[in-house]
């Protein structure tokens, strides 16, 4: 009887991400909004989450993730992501990390940073989750092709992970939109102060609409979504209509956290669907089962 109760609670808590007990480090200096979202959502599901930021940017990170009142406290509370630029604190976080989340997207993660992060990490590290770009695994042509820096970065991270016996999961996103609180509230997106940084009226309108109506996930296994040409992408910047090659930052961050909690490796692409709420961790588990 006791064994039955134990397994019931174990599998129930695992589905909710409660048993994870994981420690994580988030890094991605060129994708700040996505980085902070990923750290914020990871902190809800994991034990301890550090987010590496620029020197002196801790206060700004707290404001964007949790609001001005939280920023004024100047401390990091339990179940909140902890921004740090202090080398000693970064090393401490890496030594106890079980997973490292890299938010590169359309910016390659530098080899030097990869080496520093993975060589500093302790023996408890078992997985790296990389947020990359749709089509990132494929060689690009010239002019509007964009070059091969994303692919080369992915290949390097994969090689290093293999050499260290680490799982590597890759979450692919298209054109990123959204990321604020929308109608759902602060729990999922960044604080509303994020919207105040959007000076372009069209971008601000699309961002807020995307956070209200386009929080569903259209997921496919692997790197299979074809991104449209540059002109089509530019045209879609003024639309919040869901499509396969647009990705809401909140949903991408949630997918990265779900990939971190999942046993083993997975690679999948995230488009958008109409929804006023993002997928829960239970929803991600079901989607993974469907994809695999």
Question: Contact, 275 vs 244, CB < 8 A?
Answer: no
Which is higher by pLDDT, 54 or 229?
A: 54
pLDDT of residue 183: 77
DSSP run (H or E) holding 208? helix 201-213
* Residue carrying structure tokens 């995307």: 210
- For 128, the 3-state DSSP assignment is strand
Integer Cα distance of 230 and 236 in angstroms: 10
pLDDT of residue 240: 74
Q: Is the pLDDT of residue 242 over 70?
A: yes
Mean pLDDT calculated for residue range 114-121 = 98
Tell me the percentage of the chain whose pLDDT exceeds 70.
85
Q: Is the pLDDT of residue 7 over 60?
A: no
- For 232, the 3-state DSSP assignment is helix
Instruction: Give the pLDDT band (50/70/90) at residue 10.
Output: very low
Residues sharing a CB contact under 8 Å with residue 184, sequence separation 6 or more, in sequence order: 211, 215, 276, 277, 278
Rg (CA), the chain: 18
Q: Is the pLDDT of residue 280 over 80?
A: yes
Q: Is the pLDDT of residue 204 over 80?
A: yes
User: Domain 19-291 falls in which CATH fold?
Assistant: Rossmann fold (3.40.50)
pLDDT of residue 233: 65
3-state secondary structure string across 85-101: CCHHHHHHHHHCCCEEE
pLDDT of residue 226: 83
pLDDT of residue 212: 93
Mean pLDDT calculated for residue range 9-22 = 49
Mean pLDDT calculated for residue range 85-106 = 98
Mean pLDDT of the chain: 89
Whole-model pTM over 0.85: yes
pLDDT of residue 147: 64
pLDDT of residue 210: 94
Instruction: Give the pLDDT band (50/70/90) at residue 231.
Output: low
**Domain regions of the chain by residue span:** 19-291
pLDDT of residue 55: 96
Mean pLDDT calculated for residue range 271-284 = 95
Q: Whats the size of the chain, residue-wise?
A: 292
Integer Cα distance of 24 and 95 in angstroms: 10
Q: Is the pLDDT of residue 274 over 60?
A: yes
Mean pLDDT is lowest, of 51-65, 129-143, 242-256, for 129-143
pLDDT, tens only, 134-187 = 999 986 654 444 568 999 999 999 999 999 999 999 999 999 999 999 876 667
Question: Contact, 254 vs 221, CB < 8 A?
Answer: no
Q: What angle do CA 178, 180, 182 make, to 5 degrees?
A: 95
Residues sharing a CB contact under 8 Å with residue 121, sequence separation 6 or more, in sequence order: 25, 94, 95, 97, 100
Instruction: Give the pLDDT band (50/70/90) at residue 71.
Output: very high
pLDDT of residue 234: 65
Integer Cα distance of 74 and 80 in angstroms: 13
One DSSP character per residue, 188-204 reads TS--GGGGGG--SHHHH
Q: Is the pLDDT of residue 18 over 60?
A: no
């Amino acid at each position: 009887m006791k064994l039955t109760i134990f397994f019931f609670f174990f599998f129930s808590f695992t589905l909710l991400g409660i048993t994870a007990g994981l420690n994580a480090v988030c890094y991605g200096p060129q994708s700040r909004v996505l980085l902070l979202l990923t750290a914020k959502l990871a902190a809800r599901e994991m034990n301890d989450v550090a987010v590496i930021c620029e020197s002196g940017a801790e206060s700004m990170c707290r404001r964007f993730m949790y609001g001005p009142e939280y920023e004024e406290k100047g401390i990091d509370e339990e179940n909140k992501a902890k921004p740090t630029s202090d080398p000693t604190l970064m090393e401490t976080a890496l030594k106890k990390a079980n997973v490292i989340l890299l938010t590169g997207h359309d910016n390659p993660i530098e080899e030097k940073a990869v080496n520093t992060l993975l060589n500093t990490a302790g023996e408890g590290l078992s997985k790296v989750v990389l947020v990359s770009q749709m089509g990132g695994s494929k060689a690009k042509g010239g002019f509007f092709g964009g070059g091969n820096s994303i692919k080369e970065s992915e290949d390097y991270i994969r090689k290093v992970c293999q050499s260290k016996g680490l799982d590597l999961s890759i979450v692919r996103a298209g054109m990123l939109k959204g990321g604020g609180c929308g109608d759902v509230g602060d729990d999922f997106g960044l604080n509303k102060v994020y919207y105040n940084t959007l000076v372009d009226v069209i971008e601000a309108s699309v961002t807020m609409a995307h956070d209200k109506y386009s929080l569903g996930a259209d997921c496919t296994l692997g790197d299979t979504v074809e991104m449209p040409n540059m002109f089509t992408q530019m045209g879609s910047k003024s639309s919040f209509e869901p499509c396969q090659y647009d990705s809401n930052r909140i949903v991408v961050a949630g997918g990265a956290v779900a990939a971190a909690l999942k046993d083993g490796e997975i690679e999948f692409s995230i488009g958008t669907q109409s929804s006023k709420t993002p997928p829960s961790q239970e929803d991600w588990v079901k989607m993974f089962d469907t994809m695999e």
